[in-house]
């Protein structure tokens, strides 16, 4: 249980174990990436648990049986925020090969902590926005400003809040508060809610800069 409505913390022993690996500043980029990948499967188990199914009949080699498959009426859109979100989208793509991937390019202005867009090829209008399920991916939900901007992008195209999920590895309470004040019905799936943000907008205790650690660009 946590104090935030619509925030699901995947408090699984394997998440806790792998979080301890990625938080360690001495963990190499390779081990860091692999531990995140293991957590990602657990996050997506939760993030996709309410995808719609439809009943079908199939022939096994022995007889006809009733089965269920994902509804073809819904389009799943995976939206990783560049660049750290790419680590999630690899796995998301693997377990949902039918999904569409729409990249969101934004970086954080280190002074104002506001997002600056640099890449957005998402169609201006969506046909049948009610039938889109959006999974926005960013390992670190810090101030919540990039989350809000990316959620707004889909809301402005007519996608209902209920159809949007935000998947993060670690979240700051300040960011969760910010997102929920703006979009109370967005579901957020995370592996941990940390203590606080520091004065530079980094999550504490956190794990440092996720993108730098994933792509091995940490400067000492
Ligand atoms: N982005 C990161 O990579 N780490 C933080 O702690 C905050 C934002």
Domain ranges of the chain: 7-50+75-215
CATH number of this structure's domain 7-50+75-215: 3.40.50.2020
- CA-nearest of 166, 196, 201 to 184 is 166
What confidence tier does 108 reach under pLDDT thresholds 50, 70, 90? confident
Q: How far away, in angstroms, is 143 Cα from ligand 1 center?
A: 9
pLDDT above 90: residue 177 = yes
Coil, strand or helix at 2? coil
Q: Classify residue 26 by its DSSP letter.
A: T
Q: Are strands 187-193 and 164-171 parallel, antiparallel or unpaired?
A: parallel
Q: How far away, in angstroms, is 144 Cα from ligand 1 center?
A: 11
Cα–Cα distances in angstroms (integers) from residue 118 to residues 11, 78, 107, 108, 166, in the given order: 34, 18, 8, 11, 20
Q: Are 133 and 75 in contact (CB under 8 A)?
A: yes
Q: How far away, in angstroms, is 89 Cα from ligand 1 center?
A: 18
In the chain, DSSP finds a helix count (H) and a strand count (E) of 6, 13
In the numeric block, the tokens 């956190």 are attached to: 206
Q: How far apart are CA 159 and CA 131, in angstroms?
A: 8
pLDDT above 90: residue 110 = no
Q: How far away, in angstroms, is 164 Cα from ligand 1 center?
A: 22
Q: Is the CB of 197 under 6 A from ligand 1?
A: no
The per-residue pLDDT of the chain, averaged, comes to: 96
Q: How many CB atoms lie within 10 A of CB 31?
A: 13
Q: How far away, in angstroms, is 101 Cα from ligand 1 center?
A: 23
Number of the ligand 1 atom closest to the C-alpha atom of 204: 6
Number of the ligand 1 atom closest to the C-alpha atom of 197: 6
H helices present in the chain, as ranges: 13-23, 29-47, 86-95, 145-155, 173-182, 210-214
* pLDDT at residue number 211: 97
N-to-C CA span, the chain:
38
H helices present in 48-116, as ranges: 86-95
Q: Nearest residue CA, atom 5 of ligand 1?
A: 202
pLDDT above 80: residue 46 = yes
Q: Return the best residue to mutate from 143, 170, 209, 218 for the ligand 1 pocket (most ligand atoms within 8 A of CB).
A: 209
Coil, strand or helix at 33? helix
Backbone angles phi, psi at 128, to 5 degrees: 50, 60
Q: Angle formed by the axes of helices 29-47 and 86-95, to 10°?
A: 50
* pLDDT at residue number 113: 87
Q: Is the CB of 142 under 6 A from ligand 1?
A: yes
Question: What does the pLDDT look like over 158-168, one tens digit per residue?
Answer: 999 999 999 99
Q: Is the CB of 81 under 6 A from ligand 1?
A: no
């Amino acid at each position: 249980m946590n104090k935030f409505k619509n925030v699901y913390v995947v408090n699984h022993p394997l998440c806790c174990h792998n979080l301890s690996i990625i938080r360690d500043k001495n963990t190499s980029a390779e081990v860091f990436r692999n531990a995140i990948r293991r957590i990602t499967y657990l996050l997506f188990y939760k993030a996709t648990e309410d995808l719609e199914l439809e009943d079908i009949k199939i022939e096994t080699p022995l007889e006809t049986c009733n089965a269920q498959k994902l509804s073809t009426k819904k389009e799943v859109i995976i939206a990783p925020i560049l660049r750290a979100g790419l680590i999630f989208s690899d796995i998301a793509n693997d377990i949902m090969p039918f999904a569409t991937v729409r990249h969101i390019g934004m970086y954080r202005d280190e002074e104002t902590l506001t997002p600056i867009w640099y890449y957005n090829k998402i169609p201006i209008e969506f046909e049948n926005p009610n039938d889109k399920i959006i999974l926005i991916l960013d390992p670190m939900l810090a101030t919540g400003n990039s989350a809000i901007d990316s959620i707004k992008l889909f809301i402005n195209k007519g996608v209902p809040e209920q159809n949007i999920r935000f998947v993060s590895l670690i979240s700051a309470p300040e960011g969760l508060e910010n997102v929920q004040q703006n979009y109370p019905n967005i579901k957020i799936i995370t592996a941990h809610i940390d203590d606080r943000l520091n004065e530079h907008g980094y999550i504490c205790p956190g794990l440092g800069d996720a993108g730098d650690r994933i792509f091995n660009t940490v400067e000492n």
